[in-house]
Amino acid sequence: MKTSEIKELTDKEIQERISLEKETLVRLNMNHAVSPLDNPLKIKDTRRNIARLKTVLRQREMNQNQN
């Protein structure tokens, strides 16, 4: 998910997407612990997506506080 796509979402949608990505990350980590994933880079991508979502959400909070 690109940053430009994230910026188009509302705050509520971003929060929902964060929780969904966190659930996906937990599932991927558990599956990877039991048996190796076909593509372990999915774990890395999921972590980065969560970070992108949180960054955009935090930027919005900072902009609201400044105004």
2: left (phi over 0), alpha (psi -120 to 50) or beta: beta
Q: How many domains does the chain have?
A: 1
- Each residue of 14-45: pLDDT tens digit? 999 999 999 999 999 999 999 999 999 999 99
End-to-end CA distance of the chain: 28
Q: Please give the Cα distance from 26 to 19 (Å, whole number).
A: 11
| Domain of 30, in residue numbers | 3-66
Q: What is the pLDDT of residues 56-67, one digit of tens each?
A: 999 999 999 987
- The token duo for 65 is 């506080």
For the domain that residue 7 is a member of, what is the CATH number?
1.10.287
Measured CA to CA in angstroms, residue 3 lies from 32, 34, 37, 54 at distances of 27, 32, 27, 11
